[in-house]
Chains A and B, each alone.
Chain A
Amino acid sequence: MDQARLQRLREQAQADRWEVPPEVFSGALERSAEKAFAGRTPSEAELDRYYTSLHLTDLALACACAMGHEEAWDHFVLEFRPGMYRAADAIDPGGGAREVAQALYAELFGLKEKDGIRQSVFRYFHGRSSLATWLRSLIAQRFVDRHREIRKLEPLPDEGSAAPLRARASELDPDRGRFVTAMRAVLAAAIAALAPRDRLRLACYYAQEMTLAEIGKLTREHEATVSRALAKTRKVIREGVERRLGDDHGFSKTEVEECFQSIADDAGNLDLNEWLGDVSRRSPGEGGRKKPGLDRSMSEDLS
């Protein structure tokens, strides 16, 4: 790397504060650019813009912590660890994510060694996001993966639940299975035909139960825009489903209606079990959306 550029970036990063050697900081910058530009060779102007956009002070701190610089580590503990734990508690107030955060803290410190060199997770920080955001995303990633691992070990619902209910319903109406299959096929096709961002909004809203505001943060849209886009997407899907049922499957209007009713019954049974539910829907008290109360008791006292 050009020495003048390196010197300028080091000054911006206050790398001397943590005694980060130039070659270490240069290596971190080059790894970061290599990942961001994914194999292609960027122009000098692009590189300059990229380096300037990085969270350089955080990158220098991460380099110093990975090296085991004591003062840098003290600074990290003082400034970042509380944020890690707050994020963990927000993800899972039950303490599950805090365990993840504590394990991550050990990995950041670098308890493992390879060829005599301490291996810290800090080496994967490239400065594109702030260090605090990167730590939160690490916690989120590991929490989700751990939850998914646990779910694999959970027993499936017993035989007294959804499957027999569907079977009995199918016996009563021989066409129902055909309607369900057709409806699911056209619905999947309609979802697949959506633009990625429309599908993303839809998945965030219905599968992950994110709020409009959260989706807006992700897509950089106002929540009213998200709301309108969701309504529009629903309309597109519905029209697509109705058209495909008629055109592709040759169903009459009455049969199209039966298709809708069949999927309503089927989805209802599955919803009761909720065994397809994912991590972000299971932690209580998260986000702004509440689960609908199945028993809407008039005497329910929330005070």
Chain B
Amino acid sequence: MSTDRDRILEQALKHELRAAGTAPAGACLDAEALGAWTDGALDPAAMAAAEAHVSNCARCQAMVATMLKSATAVGTPGTGTPGTLGTFSLWKWWLAPIAAGVAAVTLWMVVPEQQQLATAPPQAEISKAAQTPVAAPAPPPAAPARDALVKQPTDKLGQRDNKVAATAREDQPKPRPSEERKEEGAARQKRAKLADAAAPAAAAAPPAAATMRAPAEFGGLEKNARKIVAPPGIEVTGQSAPSDSVCWFVGRAGLVLLTTDAGATFTRVDLAERLDLASVSATDERHATVSTADGRRFRTDDGGRTWLAF
């Protein structure tokens, strides 16, 4: 009964708060005050007054929400002007050498492997390559370096190993089993190296958005889940991949996605309640447990058809 009342109360709150009125126009925040609030430039008294007003004014609430949505897309509030004077220039300053370094290390590790794995290279080329001294590649410019990182999974080896793109590769000649095993092993090594090479950049990179930091804070992301990615445009706060092909994703407003084919297709198995989910832990495609941002937990034993609070 307690959970039922909570759910009803949440519905009623949503309805009641949406129906809130608007304070007299003169009392509303102007754009200057709203901007100052967003930039943290209001003194405590002014901020308290602004909060008191906005908490009762639907128009100002909508303004604040709209403003923050634009801030999320453009950049962190209070970080100065956009364009060359804003935060992006700071990013570029230290992102470029890191990206170049990562690309150089990646190329150094991956390119020789690709040369070895190329199908039946002429013997002359092999001996020529053997004679050529191996030198550390010069760091390429930042943008191409990032492209190189992004494009690696789409090269010939990456495609063969990528289950998501499996359906688009049926026309390619199938390698012999022995070759396939050899190439798969090499591809696994390459993936591991790529992941290791990318890890410092990911660790050093500044947070892209606060909402994306949530998973780590709530312990929602699992290390073994990085192979399968959520569909584009879906904000994920946690994921769990009990096997190579099965992965559960959770997000806000009760969002739960399940893939059983390594991300080729996703099934939406949301919670009935629109709770912000913070993490998921799954044992297979039928059994999973999700935790909400406020600590509640729900379990499914039938692939998300039904969820039980516990």
Contact = CB atoms under 8 A, between A and B. Distances in A.
A124 B265 contact: no
A137 B33 CA distance: 9
B20 to A, nearest CB: 7
A6 interface: no
A139 B70 contact: yes
Contacts of A286: 69
A74 interface: no
B274 A132 contact: no
B62 interface: yes
A116 interface: no
A132 B88 CA distance: 14
B1 A257 contact: yes
B18 A277 contact: yes
B211 A138 contact: no
Contacts of B37: 218
A181 B267 CA distance: 41
B35 interface: yes
Interface footprint category on B? 35 or more
Given A187-B13, A238-B6, 11 more contacts: A128-B32, A128-B39, A129-B39, A139-B70, A148-B59, A188-B16, A196-B52, A206-B13, A234-B9, A234-B13, A285-B233
Contacts of B276: 211-212, 227, 289
B14 to A, nearest CB: 4
A292 B67 CA distance: 23
Given A91-B69, A200-B51, A303-B231, A79 B83 contact: yes
Interface string A237-260: 110010000000000000001001
Interface string A264-303: 1001101100001111100101111111110011111111
A197 interface: yes
Nearest to B261: A303
* A-B pairs, 9 with minimum CB distance: A83-B82, A90-B73, A129-B35, A213-B210, A128-B36, A208-B65, A280-B65, A199-B55, A200-B55
A149 B305 CA distance: 42
B11 A268 contact: yes
B110 interface: no
Contacts of B14: 206-207, 267, 271
Interface stretch (B113-121, B153-161, B175-183, B252-260): B252-260
B234 interface: yes
A122 B55 CA distance: 29
A56 to B, nearest CB: 13
A86 interface: yes
A278 B62 contact: yes
A20 interface: no
25 contacts: A80-B82, A82-B83, A128-B39, A129-B32, A131-B81, A132-B74, A132-B80, A132-B86, A134-B35, A144-B66, A196-B52, A200-B55, A204-B65, A208-B61, A208-B65, A211-B252, A234-B9, A238-B5, A260-B9, A267-B15, A286-B69, A288-B235, A290-B253, A298-B267, A302-B268
Nearest to A241: B9
Contact of B65 (A53, A214, A241): A214
Given A137-B34, A280-B65, A292-B274, A203 B73 contact: no
Contact of B12 (A128, A204, A263, A285): A263
B56 interface: yes
A80 B61 CA distance: 26
A206 B173 CA distance: 55
Nearest to A53: B41
Contact of A212 (B39, B55, B62, B293): B293
B17 A206 contact: yes
Contact of A130 (B20, B39, B266, B268): B39
A113 B233 CA distance: 45
B152 interface: no
Contacts of B252: 211, 288-290
B234 A217 contact: no
A166 interface: no
B274 A191 contact: no
Nearest to A208: B65
A79 B81 contact: yes
A234 B68 contact: no
Contact of B31 (A141, A188, A278, A296): A141
A53 B39 CA distance: 11
A231 interface: yes
Given A207-B61, A230-B294, A234-B9, A134 B32 contact: yes
A60 interface: no
A218 B83 contact: no
Contacts of A203: 17, 20, 54-55, 61
Given A213-B214, A285-B233, A300-B268, A133 B12 contact: no
